[in-house]
Structure 1
Amino acid sequence: MFYPIDESCYYTGNVEDEVHKLSPEQVENYLTQEKVDVVVNQQAIFSTSFTKLVLGFNLRRFKYISVFHNTPAIYEKTLTFSRLWYNFLHQRGVSAKMSNCVRMIVYPLWKQRVVKGAGKMYAVNYDASDKCVMLSSNDWPTLGRYLKHDVSEKCVTIHNPLTFDTIETAECLCHKKKNVLIVSRLNNFEKRLDRALKIWKKIETGGFDDWHLYIVGWGLQEKMLHNLARKLKLRNVHFEGRQPSEPYYHNASIFMMTSAVEGWGLTLTESMQTGVVPIAFDSYPALHEIITDRYDGCIIRDNDLDAYAVCMEELMRNRKERERIARNGIESCKRFETDKIIVQWVKLIESL
């Protein structure tokens, strides 16, 4: 079942037209008439609206699964003072600026209040659910910290499946170019692409003039990142905008992730299945269920830009090592093949 952000109506079959449209009041009748056995709430990390709607039903004849599609720590990791300052400088309208100004003045209290509110939201979704699906077992303790109790009774871990239909073979490594790739929304507060550009400055300073960085994606901070690239006088950086990413993976040898937080990080498994070596900061729990450091990717201590640059330089110099890690990634990512993930979902649903 699909529902838009404003939650004023719901659509069945993921089709947005009048035939498939339901009001919130019609949802209960639909579930009853269709004899629905299991309802999956995909918004547990962001909202309680659908859960509260379900709790209001007179008689619940179905099992309820809530899916946490990001780490529960997302709010504490992304609600930074610098984000408020950026919004204050760039948002239009007096009320928006005043709102951000007040939040900056009382920033510690405001953030504490928001994080506490997130915990209450998680609790509503958790308590209403028969099972809660997390992307990583490493996120269970974080959810437990918010709820102030053990969550192993209800939580299960099901990873995201691979994005692309096929997994490359080791033969693809023969055609790789000296390209480094970033595929990301250009949201600097979450993706921290300013750090990627500063790391790349170290690479160019180190004399790797035959390597190029391609950034695929678009977002609110695109202009700011273009300006930073000019300020750093970067030569071999290419902002590609919103493009199909798969062709870029096929040409790339190294993938960069500099995010402050991720729920899973699909771009890491995309890079692995296309023979690209992923490098990521150790900034979120699920990372260690995707990458084993120096086996099928590289994990760098969070915010250590120097260590990140050194790792990239080592891989750029050593094609044999680069291809060893890439080959391991091609095999390792098979853990996340779609058929294997479907089996886990079927097992979960049948267990209810």
Structure 2
Amino acid sequence: MNILFVTVFQISEQKGGTERTTARISNEMRRRGHKCYNLYAKPIGDMFEMTEFDGIYTNYSPESVRDIIDSQQIDKIILEGAFIMVKNVYDGRAKASRKPSMLFVHHFAPGYEPYFNAFYSIWNQFRYAQSLSNRVKALVKVLIYPVFKPYMDASFHKLYKVAYSLCDKIVLLSPEYSDDYCKFGNINDKRKFASIPNAVSFDEFIPLEDLSKKEKTVLIVTRLDEVQKRISLAIKIWKRIEDDAELNDWTFKIVGFGESEHEYRKMVSTLGLKRISFEGRQNPVGYYKKSSLFMMTSLFEGWPMTLNESLQFGCVPLVYDTCASFHEIINDGENGYLVTDKNEEEFYHKMHALMLDANKRMVMQKAAIESSKRFTLDKIVSRWEKLLNE
């Protein structure tokens, strides 16, 4: 089978969740004998190790899409969250002699997009822009925000509807998301939906004998973005942990980077916290292996890669219950905890109890590892092959 993966960004496992998923799926597809091609809109620079494909293209005009389809005899087109490219790909397919199926994959919880146009997010884009041109663009958004916000929100609603109309399948991360997609896109038809979760990010699982080597460390691996990730809530919970004399041998590590890091560092300083560290951009595997607990305080996610990762390395997750997909990943009280959103008291008490009960942690760590094996790359790619062969 010849598959064209259409993406907004050039593909590298190190870029982000969407790109990592695309890289792992395409690599396994190629290993199984399929040919995989990538058409992307935006390069990501030289700091990343790029994923190999049987062919890579950057021109997504309808004429170029037509030529790719016919020259490479494309059988299936998978659009990885690339709303902005749907119309051109559809028009290119219409011009081609071959008519491959188009599958659009939504990598987030449907309806999340307006949050990224919140004023807080736009203002931080201006404050922490790395170049003059980006700073000017962000300033324009700030100045015209009363007009910009409703315009962008309306455009996202339209993009959902266009993708559903033009594509043959809409692939969501959870079957629970179909209603949300329909509501946000004002769609009354559910016949095109399918669901496939993300695979675990790594091929290794921590050996059970290594669980005894874990340290008394709480871990977060994330992009530092307050609008979505709400790390300020995790820091507030950690303040209660540091104030608890019974837990003075525990530490908290935050792996990742992003535009909200300055605010988080300031918050930590203001609260006088001493056992919390910002680790920056790192390979997280070593941190997962050493850490005992994992926190997630996100307002929304799709199928979070880091939650899968925490499970496969026996790092027990405690998660604010904000997304339907969490219930497919976590069996509450068995391989992790789902906590009522923004209930700091509940979060603290569940974490406190786990910190003081090494036997309970060990039982849940073993359950976490076993539960993550539901999402091995082999199993997820087999589901993709089945869908593509329908």
Answer whether TM exceeds 0.5 for this pair. Answer: yes
1:22 and 1:82 map into 2 onto residues whose CA distance is 33
1:213 equivalent among 252, 258, 262: 252
Query: What TM-score results when the alignment is normalised by the length of structure 1?
Result: 0.88
1:139 equivalent among 177, 182, 187: 177
2:167 equivalent among 103, 122, 129: 129
1:7 corresponding residue in structure 2: 41
Q: Does 1:294 align with 2:333?
A: yes
1:343 and 1:151 map into 2 onto residues whose CA distance is 27
SS of 1:52's equivalent in the other structure is helix
Counterpart amino acid of 2:139?
A: K
Offset from partner CA, 1:292-338 (integer Å, 9 cap, x none): 21121111111222221111111101122222222111111111011
SS of 2:77's equivalent in the other structure is strand
Could you tell me whether the CA contact under 8 Å between 2:103 and 2:171 is conserved in 1?
A: yes
- Mark the runs of 5 or more structure 1 residues left unpaired by the alignment: none
1:29 and 1:135 map into 2 onto residues whose CA distance is 31
Q: Classify 1:311/1:64 alpha carbon distance in 2 versus 1 (closer, same or farther; 3 Å).
A: same
1:198 corresponding residue in structure 2: 236
Considering only aligned residues, what root-mean-square deviation do their CA atoms show, in Å?
2.6
- Offset at residue 97 of structure 1 (A): 3.4
Q: Classify 1:145/1:204 alpha carbon distance in 2 versus 1 (closer, same or farther; 3 Å).
A: same
Could you tell me whether the CA contact under 8 Å between 1:71 and 1:263 is conserved in 2?
A: yes
Query: What TM-score results when the alignment is normalised by the length of structure 2?
Result: 0.80
1:257 corresponding residue in structure 2: 296
SS of 1:48's equivalent in the other structure is helix
Q: Classify 1:99/1:149 alpha carbon distance in 2 versus 1 (closer, same or farther; 3 Å).
A: closer
Q: Does 1:58 align with 2:95?
A: yes
SS of 1:240's equivalent in the other structure is strand
Q: Classify 1:148/1:89 alpha carbon distance in 2 versus 1 (closer, same or farther; 3 Å).
A: same
Could you tell me whether the CA contact under 8 Å between 2:177 and 2:324 is conserved in 1?
A: yes
2:196 corresponding residue in structure 1: 158
- The equivalences for 1:161-240 within 5 A come to 161-207=199-245, 208-240=247-279
2:319 and 2:58 map into 1 onto residues whose CA distance is 42
Could you tell me whether the CA contact under 8 Å between 1:140 and 1:151 is conserved in 2?
A: no
1:49 equivalent among 80, 85, 91: 85
1:8 and 1:273 map into 2 onto residues whose CA distance is 32
- Offset at residue 101 of structure 1 (A): 4.2
Q: Classify 1:196/1:115 alpha carbon distance in 2 versus 1 (closer, same or farther; 3 Å).
A: same
- Mark the runs of 5 or more structure 2 residues left unpaired by the alignment: 10-39, 44-49
SS of 1:224's equivalent in the other structure is helix
Offset from partner CA, 1:158-196 (integer Å, 9 cap, x none): 010011111224323211110001111112221111111
Counterpart amino acid of 2:172?
A: M
Counterpart amino acid of 1:64?
A: M
Could you tell me whether the CA contact under 8 Å between 1:65 and 1:133 is conserved in 2?
A: yes
Counterpart amino acid of 1:186?
A: L
Q: Classify 1:96/1:245 alpha carbon distance in 2 versus 1 (closer, same or farther; 3 Å).
A: closer
1:100 corresponding residue in structure 2: 142
1:71 corresponding residue in structure 2: 109
Could you tell me whether the CA contact under 8 Å between 1:279 and 1:298 is conserved in 2?
A: yes
Q: Classify 1:258/1:94 alpha carbon distance in 2 versus 1 (closer, same or farther; 3 Å).
A: same
- Offset at residue 99 of structure 1 (A): 3.3
2:348 and 2:236 map into 1 onto residues whose CA distance is 9
